[in-house]
């Protein structure tokens, strides 16, 4: 029986795809970090209300987030 041969460059293509995926993941994590940072800054400056509707009973739930900032010198 003839053995199946892998095409030349398969490992290189796989490594390139892995690097592309790592770059995409890094960009996504940077975007998440920026978003979370912006929300934290807003919360620390003023109160923020989050309204959630319960998927089971349909009641509205209001969550208030309060923060305080230390004065900077």
Angstrom distance (rounded) from CA 25 to CA 67: 31
Cα–Cα dist 60/52, whole Å: 6
Predicted pLDDT at 39 = 79
Cα–Cα distance, 52 to 47 (Å, whole number): 16
Residues 17-60: pLDDT tens digits? Answer: 999 999 999 999 999 988 888 877 776 777 778 898 988 899 99
> What three-state secondary structure class fits 6?
coil
pLDDT score for 43: 67
């Amino acid at each position: 029986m003839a053995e199946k041969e892998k095409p030349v460059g398969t490992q290189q293509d796989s490594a390139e795809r892995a690097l592309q995926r790592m770059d995409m993941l890094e960009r996504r994590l940077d975007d998440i970090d920026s978003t979370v940072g912006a929300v934290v800054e807003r919360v620390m400056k003023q109160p923020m209300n989050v309204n959630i509707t319960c998927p089971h009973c349909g009641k509205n739930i209001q969550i208030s987030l309060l923060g305080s900032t230390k004065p900077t010198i």
